Amino acid sequence: MTDEVRTAIFFHPDQVESEGKDLVGRRSAGESFLRGYLRTSTAPEIRAVTETADGAKALEAKVRALGDTRPIRATPLRGGGDFSDAGTIFFPTPGFMNATWLRQRFGQASCSLVGITHTVSTRRIIEGLHTLLSEPVEPWDAIICTSRAVQSVVARQFALEEEYLRQRFQAGRVPLPRLPVIPLGIETAGFAAQDGARERMRAAQDATEDAVVILTVGRLSVVEKANPWPLFVALERIAVETGRKVHLWITGWASRAEEEKLHRVGAAGVCKHVMVRMVDGRDADVRRNIWAGADIFTLPAESIQETFGLVPVEAMAAGLPVVMPDWDGFRDTVVHGETGFLVPTRMARPGTGNVIARRFADMTDGYLQYLTLVQAQIQLDVPAYEAAFRRLIENPDLRRTMGEAAQRHARTRLDWSAVVPQYIELAAELAELRKAGVPASPPLPSGPISPLEVDPFDLYAGYPTGTIGPDTMVGPGIPPTEALMNAYDMISGRDLYKRRIVSNQLAMKVALAVQRSGQISLARLAAAVGESFETTETAVLYLAKADVLRLPQIGPK
């Protein structure tokens, strides 16, 4: 990584693994990215953006726990911190956490915002992608797509939103972020087999050395992750026809007890001749060493929630040949015939899912029901799946050569040391675009830098009877006392909500000046107390509500 290219990371405590949180793919990816970024970065300091100041503290704790001692400079978005010097900021989601609007304060060309895709099928993400195009996004912003397949999804969503905006508003242009394809990475060294791990893992699951162990890893969800039926059928047929000792280790965890039961009962009902073990994937020793005990990795994932799939990459890093569906990001990471096999998939034709789409849009179906209906029309070719397994089960030399090729591929192409430089190259490209670019969303000619940052006294100007100005006469009212002002503070909520538009000292200063002078114009009052007109105006309105000062009578509007 070159220090000349300025980069920063957005950090939120929920994007990394920690005790008490469910193990989900985005957190695993976030944890791995942070480790890889820190390991690859040569910058003298860690530049970060967080949502809150507490997020900055959590980042420091995490970084120190990982052994990095470099200084950390984090800017919280909440509170309007200036992040314009960050160069390119990498976010762990497709969206930019309101940073598009906040950037308006510093200039649209001050920095680039870059998100990354994980799942793109949930309602929240879909709505976020469509909303994004109404924000001040610039051509030097980007959303990293982790696979060509997910790039096609995001591009299609943007095309539909662009079509809508052009038709409804006759828009002549709709600025779009770039959509580069950069894979997720892992720390491949962390998956190398440890001494004795193979023997220990196999002994724990009663797998003798002559057995062939097929491993799956991941959260147990038939519609969010993988329907195990094709796997059960293929392995059972092989075990029956070849007489080989075929073992299947279903390694994972279920967020719903019904899912675990479904997998357990399903395996028992279909796999009569396959030794099936359910292994708790939340166990740290299992997560680190289960790979060493296996011979082949697979995950029959054909859910639209998948976009990339880290587990086959982890399996390849562990030296396992993989048998994966030719589906979404798997086809970008698995080299068919070299690091394993890709199994053909089919789905319904475009235009046949309109009823499913309508039911999801009008909330007749929730997300899991939507996934269930879609997945029912996606096929993983079971005979081809079986054939791929059969080749590897019957040929230990092929397993070895493919496993070695898989490990080389993971180390050279999918380690963070190979992936993070692609992030930096992207940052350099975006920096060049900023230099010559003309912002598509400059501040509004009417004054506000964005529709979200409008002066409330402009926005709500139609509410009051009137306003005050330099010539407004101000007179004394109730004599101000410390007890009176303290009671007013309490009743007005200034103490409760810890916000003061003027200090007690200034309020008393203005009140006493009017008590001494009697009737006085607002302009002369400002000069008398030695404060700006705007500050004095604020103090006068605040005190007039307390009847400490009095303003001229005006009639209803």
| pLDDT score, position 208 | 96
Please tell me whether residues 493 and 510 are part of one structural domain.
yes
Instruction: Assess if residue 379 is contained within a domain.
Output: no
Question: How confident is the model over 341-399, as pLDDT tens digits?
Answer: 999 999 999 999 999 999 999 999 999 999 999 999 999 999 999 999 999 999 999 99
Quickly state the pLDDT bin for 17 (edges 50, 70, 90): low
Domain's final residue, options 403, 436, 469: 436
State which H helix or E strand residue 53 sits in: helix 53-65
Residues 338 and 401: their CA atoms lie apart, in Å, by: 8
pTM of the model: 0.89
Quickly state the pLDDT bin for 454 (edges 50, 70, 90): confident
Question: In three state form, how does the secondary structure of 438-468 look?
Answer: CCCCCCCCCCCCCCCCCCHHHHCCCCCCCCC
Quickly state the pLDDT bin for 2 (edges 50, 70, 90): very low
Residue position matching structure tokens 């009578």: 553
The answer to which of 29-38, 41-50, 300-309 has the lowest mean pLDDT is: 29-38
CA torsion angle 414 420 422 426 (round to 10)? 150
The total number of residues written for the chain in this structure: 557
**The one-letter amino acid at 309:** G
Please tell me whether residues 123 and 241 are part of one structural domain.
no
Could you list the residue range(s) of the whole structural domain that residue 339 is in? 188-345+385-412
Instruction: Assess if residue 293 is contained within a domain.
Output: yes
Residues 277 and 441: their CA atoms lie apart, in Å, by: 57
Residue percentage of the chain with pLDDT more than 90: 82
Query: For residue 181, what is the DSSP state?
Result: B
Residues 339 and 465: their CA atoms lie apart, in Å, by: 75
Q: What is the CATH number of the domain that holds 465?
A: 1.10.10
The burial class, CB within 10 Å (0-12 / 13-18 / 19+), for 219 is middle
| pLDDT score, position 375 | 95
Instruction: Assess if residue 443 is contained within a domain.
Output: no
Instruction: For the beta carbon of residue 453, count every other beta carbon within 10 angstroms.
Output: 15
Please tell me whether residues 392 and 527 are part of one structural domain.
no
Q: Is the pLDDT of residue 299 over 50?
A: yes
Please tell me whether residues 178 and 192 are part of one structural domain.
no
Quickly state the pLDDT bin for 19 (edges 50, 70, 90): low
Please tell me whether residues 159 and 198 are part of one structural domain.
no
Please tell me whether residues 253 and 180 are part of one structural domain.
no
**Total number of domains constituting the chain:** 3
Residue 451: which residues within 8 A CB-CB, separation 6 or more?
A: 444
Mean pLDDT of all residues in the chain?
A: 93
| pLDDT score, position 494 | 87
Please tell me whether residues 255 and 314 are part of one structural domain.
yes
Please tell me whether residues 405 and 431 are part of one structural domain.
no
Instruction: Assess if residue 361 is contained within a domain.
Output: no
Instruction: Assess if residue 84 is contained within a domain.
Output: yes
Please tell me whether residues 108 and 206 are part of one structural domain.
no
Tokens of 214: 């097929």
Residues 140 and 175: their CA atoms lie apart, in Å, by: 10
Please tell me whether residues 231 and 151 are part of one structural domain.
no
Quickly state the pLDDT bin for 22 (edges 50, 70, 90): low
Residues forming beta bridges with residue 347, ordered by sequence position = 378
Q: Do 141 and 116 form a contact (C-beta atoms < 8 A)?
A: no
In terms of Cα–Cα distance, which of 3, 154, 8 is closest to 87?
A: 8
For 46, 83, 419, 425, the CA distances from 11, given in Å and listed in that order, are 11, 13, 19, 21
Q: What is the CATH number of the domain that holds 221?
A: 3.40.50.2000
Residue 313: which residues within 8 A CB-CB, separation 6 or more?
A: 184, 186, 333, 410, 414
Instruction: Assess if residue 391 is contained within a domain.
Output: yes
Instruction: Assess if residue 176 is contained within a domain.
Output: yes
Please tell me whether residues 195 and 334 are part of one structural domain.
yes
Question: In three state form, how does the secondary structure of 327-374 look?
Answer: CCCHHHHCCECCCEEEECEEECCCCCCHHHHHHHHCCCCCHHHHHHHH
Please tell me whether residues 221 and 294 are part of one structural domain.
yes
- The pLDDT of 61-68, averaged and rounded, is 92
Instruction: Assess if residue 170 is contained within a domain.
Output: yes
- 3-class secondary structure, 226: strand
Q: Do 26 and 44 form a contact (C-beta atoms < 8 A)?
A: no
